Amino acid sequence: MRDVLEDVRAALGGAEAWVVGGALRDELLGRPILDVDIACDEPELIALTFARHGAGAPFPLSERHGAWRVVLADGRTVDFTPLPGAIVDDLVSRDFTLNAMARQLAGGDLVDPFGGRVDIADCRIRAVSPRVFEEDPLRLLRAVRLEDELGFRCDEATEELVRAYAVLVSRPAGERILGELERLSVDGYHRLDELGLLAALGGSPGRFDRLDAVDSSNFRLVCAFGARLRDLPISRRLGRYARTLLGAEPPGDGSPRLIHRFRQATEPWALDALAFLGRPELGAAVAQARARDPVAPLLRGDELGLLPGPEIGKLLRLIAEERAAGTISTKEEALDLVREQSR
């Protein structure tokens, strides 16, 4: 963080500014610091100046609140937020005590009006005020995500607040919700369900017995939300992934023919689909079939002697299946198969 702060100091030119939030928390925990939050006057001007010093890309984070973000070349981010007055006025608007600490950019003692340092030592997540979830319902998911990532636990009062305000969890923008969900582990999803947040988001624990079958945030999302995942602003690729897993039907056995058909319907996610269907024992058969995939087809469409049309695709798929099943292996045998089908 030190090199980033030096560039920020240069951009500020001696103006008052504070390092606030998660960077100080992670510093106390000895964790890598990826994101820095700076409270200052004129965030836009400082962000643009810092971007020139630090070779980053600036953009407005919140037009309503006047916050700006600069993304550095290595993926780290520096956020510049307005300083409302005294630094305590900023900290009182934060979510949890472990994020409500500050230190002057020039250095000095930690400002910790809510006991965040003690809560960090006790591995505790505690709301700054009873209004934190009402003010920003995304904090409901953030509480679970922080528990999950840090190995902490909400104190009793904060957990009661989470349960009480769980109905608000779907109110934030879908992009913000998805961003928090993508960071949850298997344990995080169980906690989400325990606190009533999963159901409020439209999810279900029905497939939770498979959550850990694939170490993938996308896999966990499909297990937890099923078809309801389309209610979130997911990418096209994630949409295809979800449709593939949800529409997959398990092969009756591990025979080359049935494995080929299954792969035709599920690749490149055949192994994930098997895990989702509860049939991981067929994974070896899929791996073997992948290893045997031919470099080139036995026949091209223009070698079938047919007019362009859907029949060509149908025949090429038939040739590929029979080749995978081991009934044909040469171009001549493929042509014989085509002639037989054309009779």
pLDDT beyond 60 at 2? no
* CATH 3.30.70.1380 holds for 1-114: no
CA atoms within 13 A on the CB side of 165: 22
Structural contact between residues 246 and 265, judged by C-beta atoms closer than 8 angstroms: no
Superfamily of domain 123-247: cca-adding enzyme, domain 2 (1.10.3090.10)
Residue 64 has pLDDT above 90, yes or no: no
Identify whether the C-beta of residue 161 lies closer than 8 Å to the C-beta of residue 133. yes
Q: How far apart are CA 25 and CA 222, in angstroms?
A: 32
The structure's pTM equals 0.89
What percent of the chain shows pLDDT beyond 90? Answer: 62
Per-residue pLDDT, averaged over 281-307, amounts to: 89
The pLDDT value recorded for residue 42 is 86
Task: Return the ∠ at Cα 97 (arms to 125 and 140), rounded to 5°.
Answer: 55
pLDDT of residue 105: 86
Q: Where are the domains of the chain?
A: 1-114, 123-247, 249-291, 301-342
* pLDDT at 245 > cutoff 80: yes
71: phi then psi, degrees, rounded to nearest 5: -100, 120
**20-30 tens-digit pLDDT:** 988 899 999 99
